[in-house]
A and B are shown apart, each in its own frame.
Chain A
Amino acid sequence: MTSVAFDPSAEAARATREILDDTLRGDARGVVVDSPPGAGKSTLVVRAALELAAAGRPLMVVAQTNAQVDDLVLRLAEKEPELPVGRLHSNDPDPYDKALDDLGNVRKSARAADLAGLDVVISTAAKWAHVKGVEPWGHAIVDEAYQMRSDALLAVAGLFERALFVGDPGQLDPFSVVGSDQWAGLSYDPSASAVSTLLAHNPELPQHRLPVSWRLPASAAPLVSHAFYPYTPFRSGTGPGDRRLSFGVPSDGSGPDRVLDEAAESGWGLLELPARHTPRTDPEAVRAVALVVRRLLDRGGAAVSERSADPVPLTPDRIAVGTAHRDQAAAVRAALAELGVGGVTVDTANRLQGREYDVTVVLHPLSGRPDATAFHLETGRLCVLASRHRHACVVVCRAGVAELLDEHPSTEPVQLGVTVKFPDGWEANHAVLSHLSEHRVTWSP
């Protein structure tokens, strides 16, 4: 640790400059950028795309989902409405966001040939994989490269000469529904992440890191950095007093209100329900999540941040609920509807990746479970859930998770030649749990 004052803007600007320099003027075929949650990955992608286009370099952009593709197209058009952009899409009905129809310079087609010559062509990895027989692009940007599988990169890498790979190594790893052990330890294991294959074959490529999270508040960045990025720490862009959350209506003394006050004060809140083994859709926990959201809205929550000096009312669209399983999300949605709450995003960790809210309410993946499985211990899942918020995160959980972690067997197989991935799910869970326990409100509904 140095005692020199850390200037987040300057650090971030320096990193961005180096990345763009390597991308536009370097001679390496690839540049890899690790971006922790909310570190300005999308901004970087948009900026790199615009600069490449301005330099007259034809660019293809590979994203992982249609939503990500549409989002990028919209951001590009917002920054540079005149830029000719191609949106390559699938043959399915409703293949892209209707909002794209309003953009004059965005051409949409299911055939790559129709989009030839445009400055930037954007599509999903799945769609790019079907593009054959075209002249390769000079440049590519591969977004969410850590969530892309090695085999997906194999299918598209022939389409470009060089590429900028951007992604968050801490989020959920790609996976396969069938066994792939026979390729474990191979540099090009098709089920591994695209970045691990890329770097195994091209270790000399320049690697950068965005050092500042603009999303996470000063209360969250140290924990998320320590628990999920132990060897690549990052800082928050804002300081301790820069983000504030306040309520118009005082606490009624109930568990949900007390945990909201704790979260408003410290950025974190743990609403701990009595220990019990429950099915995944634990009705008490689900209802507690819904109640917290309801009270958050009822109490007239307002957020102050560097974005605006005046308090901004906390509206449902600034709130998200995160769960591990789809049925849990469905149960929370039903419980919210019962309480008359609409407009709040409720989704699983997988679908919340890359999204940002003011306040998140999380149903802890291990709450009430009789056993912890690899799925529930996966660091990426907890990392996504714990890093979507700008102001505060409330976790609802049954007591007993620490014991559950202690009793978790440690019989993981070890494949020779596979680089060990850190942190380990147990350690990360423990780090988060012990931090949360300092912001605990116990409550029996």
Chain B
Amino acid sequence: MSLISTLARLEAVESGRAQPLATVRHRHVAERPLVLVPLTTAGEAGAPLGALVGTDREEPRLLVVPQPRDRDLRFAFLADLAEAVLPYVEDFADDVEAAERSETDPETGKKVKVEVELCADAPQLVVPGRAGVEYVRLLGRSMRFRRTAEQDPETPFPAPPRVPLLGRWLTHYGERARVPGSSLLLAATDLLNRHWATGQSSLEDQHLGALLAWIDPPEGASGAEAALRAELGRDRDGQLLCPPAGPATDPAFDNRLLAPAVERYDRARHALASAEDGEAADERLGDLHRAEREIRRLVLTQLRPTWHAVWRALDLVRALPPGPRVADRWTRDRWSFTGHRDRVRAGEPPQPRRDDAVTAANKLAARESAQTQLEAQEALDDPLVMAGRRLTGEAFVGEVVEVTMAWSESKRPAPRPLLTVRTDDLPHLAEGVKAYRSLEGKPQTAQFVRYEDDGSLVLRVLDRMGRGREPAEGSVPEKGDRLVWTLFEHDQRVGPKLPDPEETPWTHGGPPRADATESPDPVTPEDLL
């Protein structure tokens, strides 16, 4: 943690309210995001208990699995989830704009511009916390290899038609969430933690209720008091006032409320199955519905507070003005969405269980470059973030006190003006170190030359001054200008192109087997307890 954010935390402790860590919004928040609050069954992987999902905060769709160990009910839930999520996703697929992408021509080996489609906007999923992101991945993994009856008429337990497709989309979103600065799938806690420092630790900040309590405490309460209530407050029946944001539920809820309700449901189902005549069956069906309604009611009590908390978090973050470079990162997200849309349309198989060597290396390289880019962009967008870089000597703010024109010593002399800059910051400068400033959104490079006796420093401007002997209008800083210089680059260099997977070298096991298609997870009757 940087000292500036440590200070913000300490100030939050003292004031009883969260303190800003950013002066602009650093993530894209969609106009119409899809919020998903999932709950899972304790101790069982991929056995959803319920979810609230939707784009309308007033009218979420409630999905509940009354008996999570029943495969059919699970499938019904996933089919409903697909119906809640896929139409939203597909809504964005056809609204496209023309864009260019450079590709390597397979015959000439030259780079050529190709006209392609880029989706004008992309669907955005918001979950309560990091565990929710992880759960999206898990759901994606559990669904994408399932086979529908149409795909495989022989499969003993066919999945509902759209479930594998939902699995592929959730997998894509889960994977994209690992790219620093991406916004296709966001955790509300991450959104808040990026922009505010609370008076508690980052571990405690993973609790959405406690986090919101610090940022937006109720009238008259301090953040600390409100957070404590959110963490530990229980009603007379021992139930948490602020249920966990999931997907795990509170054991007290499971044991005291949910388990008896599920048991009633099981009994009612059993009774219905053993009904001997129509009249008894009708009556018992009524019991079953009542039992199911009760479970739905219980699950809703656990989901609803989190649902509102996520929307509240979105309100708070939306109130911040967006950073200028956020749109650039969102465009990358749109490319990611468009790319997956194209793969689905092209009939490609689902994402494999584990990446091959080349894919893994490409992903890692892309994420590292996204990380450096994010750090640079956030600093350029936000003086408070830049302050952190100034503190560590990676950037400085200074006033130009003198400009001396000079030229390069070549046949066609180009301008290389010298700037004398006065700064109170302590940048890590040494001879030849480059410094960059933003000129009309593009980086202009200068090189450190020397320190003057009075401590001011001399920079030589190297580029972006046009082709003539005289620098272009406005391209050289003027005396009195107060400028931000960074020692880090503003844009990322393009990394090397890795071999195609078919050309994986011997050091990495050679090409992956072409015949190894991913088979679906085996399903056996004993899977369920």
The interface centre, meaning the residue of A132, A179, A188, A194 with most chain B CB atoms within 10 A of its CB, is A188
Task: Contact check, A151 vs B109: say whether CB atoms are below 8 A apart.
Answer: no
Kindly specify which of A154-162, A239-247, A338-346 makes contact with the partner chain. A154-162
Say yes or no: is B411 at the interface (Cβ < 8 Å to chain A). no
Contact with A154, one of B109, B371, B428, B507 (Cβ below 8 angstroms): B507
Task: Contact check, A157 vs B368: say whether CB atoms are below 8 A apart.
Answer: no
Task: Contact check, A180 vs B507: say whether CB atoms are below 8 A apart.
Answer: no
CB proximity of A423 to chain B, nearest CB, Å: 27
Map CB proximity to B onto A213-233 as digits: 1 under 8 Å, 0 otherwise.
000000000000000000000
Kindly specify which of B37-45, B191-199, B225-233, B496-504 makes contact with the partner chain. B496-504
Sample 21 A-B pairs with CB under 8 A, ordered by A number: A29-B506, A129-B496, A130-B496, A133-B109, A151-B361, A155-B361, A157-B505, A178-B367, A178-B368, A180-B364, A183-B355, A183-B364, A186-B355, A188-B508, A188-B509, A190-B360, A190-B361, A190-B363, A194-B507, A198-B507, A201-B506
Contact with A201, one of B356, B364, B371, B509 (Cβ below 8 angstroms): B509
Map CB proximity to A onto B91-124 as digits: 1 under 8 Å, 0 otherwise.
0000000000000000001000000000000000
CB proximity of A175 to chain B, nearest CB, Å: 11
Contact with A30, one of B370, B495, B507 (Cβ below 8 angstroms): B507
Contact with B507, one of A126, A202, A326 (Cβ below 8 angstroms): A202
Residues of A near B156 (CB, < 8 A) are none
Map CB proximity to A onto B424-453 as digits: 1 under 8 Å, 0 otherwise.
000010001000000000000000000000
Map CB proximity to B onto A122-136 as digits: 1 under 8 Å, 0 otherwise.
000010011011000
Say yes or no: is A367 at the interface (Cβ < 8 Å to chain B). no
Map CB proximity to A onto B352-384 as digits: 1 under 8 Å, 0 otherwise.
001111101101110110111000000000000
In chain A, what residue has the closest Cβ to B364? Answer: A190
Residues of A near B355 (CB, < 8 A) are 182-183, 186
Alpha-carbon gap, A190 to B354, bound state (A)? 13
**Interface hits, A164-178 → B, CB 8 Å:** 176-178
Residues of A near B358 (CB, < 8 A) are 154
Residues of B near A330 (CB, < 8 A) are 428
Say yes or no: is B178 at the interface (Cβ < 8 Å to chain A). yes
Say yes or no: is A7 at the interface (Cβ < 8 Å to chain B). no
Alpha-carbon gap, A178 to B369, bound state (A)? 9
Task: Contact check, B509 vs A187: say whether CB atoms are below 8 A apart.
Answer: yes
In chain A, what residue has the closest Cβ to B432? Answer: A94
Task: Contact check, B508 vs A150: say whether CB atoms are below 8 A apart.
Answer: yes
Query: Total interface residues on B, using CB and 8 Å?
Result: 34
Tell whether A132 pairs with B497 under 8 Å between CB atoms, given A179-B178, A183-B355: yes
Residues of B near A130 (CB, < 8 A) are 496
In chain B, what residue has the closest Cβ to A125? Answer: B496
Task: Contact check, B507 vs A157: say whether CB atoms are below 8 A apart.
Answer: yes
Say yes or no: is B180 at the interface (Cβ < 8 Å to chain A). yes
Alpha-carbon gap, A124 to B361, bound state (A)? 18
Alpha-carbon gap, A151 to B495, bound state (A)? 12
Map CB proximity to B onto A396-420 as digits: 1 under 8 Å, 0 otherwise.
0000000000000000000000000
Residues of A near B367 (CB, < 8 A) are 178
Residues of B near A66 (CB, < 8 A) are none
Say yes or no: is A441 at the interface (Cβ < 8 Å to chain B). no
Tell whether A186 pairs with B360 under 8 Å between CB atoms, given A177-B371, A178-B371: yes
Task: Contact check, B364 vs A188: say whether CB atoms are below 8 A apart.
Answer: no
The interface centre, meaning the residue of A126, A151, A180, A186 with most chain B CB atoms within 10 A of its CB, is A151
Residues of B near A126 (CB, < 8 A) are 496
Say yes or no: is A147 at the interface (Cβ < 8 Å to chain B). no
Task: Contact check, A178 vs B496: say whether CB atoms are below 8 A apart.
Answer: no
Say yes or no: is A189 at the interface (Cβ < 8 Å to chain B). yes
Say yes or no: is A429 at the interface (Cβ < 8 Å to chain B). no
Task: Contact check, A178 vs B180: say whether CB atoms are below 8 A apart.
Answer: yes
Tell whether A158 pairs with B432 under 8 Å between CB atoms, given A29-B506, A186-B354, A190-B364: no
Residues of A near B506 (CB, < 8 A) are 29, 157, 201-202
CB proximity of A291 to chain B, nearest CB, Å: 24
Taking A153-B507, A189-B360 as known contacts, 8 extra A-B pairs with beta carbons closer than 8 A to each other, sorted by chain A number, are A129-B496, A154-B358, A178-B178, A178-B370, A190-B360, A190-B364, A190-B365, A202-B507
Residues of B near A29 (CB, < 8 A) are 506
Task: Contact check, B371 vs A157: say whether CB atoms are below 8 A apart.
Answer: no
Say yes or no: is A191 at the interface (Cβ < 8 Å to chain B). yes
Task: Contact check, B365 vs A151: say whether CB atoms are below 8 A apart.
Answer: yes
7 tightest Cβ-Cβ pairs between the two chains A and B: A157-B505, A129-B496, A151-B361, A188-B357, A190-B361, A201-B509, A157-B507
In chain A, what residue has the closest Cβ to B506? Answer: A29
Residues of A near B503 (CB, < 8 A) are 158
In chain B, what residue has the closest Cβ to A201? Answer: B509
Task: Contact check, A201 vs B360: say whether CB atoms are below 8 A apart.
Answer: no
Task: Contact check, A176 vs B505: say whether CB atoms are below 8 A apart.
Answer: no
Task: Contact check, A183 vs B508: say whether CB atoms are below 8 A apart.
Answer: no
The interface centre, meaning the residue of B495, B499, B507 with most chain A CB atoms within 10 A of its CB, is B507
Contact with B364, one of A30, A178, A194, A202 (Cβ below 8 angstroms): A178
Tell whether A176 pairs with B368 under 8 Å between CB atoms, given A183-B360, A187-B509, A189-B360: yes
Alpha-carbon gap, A158 to B499, bound state (A)? 8
Tell whether A155 pairs with B498 under 8 Å between CB atoms, given A178-B364, A188-B357: yes
Residues of A near B504 (CB, < 8 A) are 154
Residues of A near B354 (CB, < 8 A) are 183, 186
Alpha-carbon gap, A202 to B497, bound state (A)? 24
The interface centre, meaning the residue of B355, B365, B496, B503 with most chain A CB atoms within 10 A of its CB, is B496
Say yes or no: is A379 at the interface (Cβ < 8 Å to chain B). no
Say yes or no: is A16 at the interface (Cβ < 8 Å to chain B). no
**Interface hits, A187-217 → B, CB 8 Å:** 187-191, 194, 197-198, 201-202
Alpha-carbon gap, A194 to B365, bound state (A)? 15
Contact with B498, one of A154, A178, A182, A201 (Cβ below 8 angstroms): A154
In chain B, what residue has the closest Cβ to A187? Answer: B509
Task: Contact check, A201 vs B507: say whether CB atoms are below 8 A apart.
Answer: yes
Residues of A near B393 (CB, < 8 A) are 327
Tell whether A191 pairs with B507 under 8 Å between CB atoms, given A94-B432, A178-B371: no
